[in-house]
Amino acid sequence: MQTLSAKDAKYNFGRLIDTARAEPVTVEKHGRAVVVVLAVEEYERLKIIESEQRNEAPRSDNMK
């Protein structure tokens, strides 16, 4: 995973988009990771996995 500073992400937004389509990119502000930019296809894949895991989670007796 590549890392860019917020300043670099701002001034090289096209590069950020191109890189994020190939792999997630961490954006740091003041040396601390604040966001991850990723391709929409990867985001959708993660949402499907999350939904499947939520549906497979055992339900408690209190949840009716």
pLDDT in tens, 8-53: 999 999 999 999 999 999 999 999 999 999 999 999 999 999 999 9
Total count of domains within the chain? 1
Domain extent for 23: 2-56
> Going edge to edge, which strands form the sheet with 25-29?
2-5, 25-29, 32-37
| pLDDT above 80 for 61 | no
| Cα dihedral across residues 4, 25, 53, 55: positive or negative | positive
63 assigned to some structural domain: no
Start-to-end CA span in the chain (Å):
42
3-state SS assignment for residue 10: helix
Q: Which residue has the higher pLDDT, 46 or 54?
A: 46
Query: Residue 51: which CATH number?
Result: 3.40.1620.10
pLDDT band at 64 (very low <50, low <70, confident <90, very high): very low
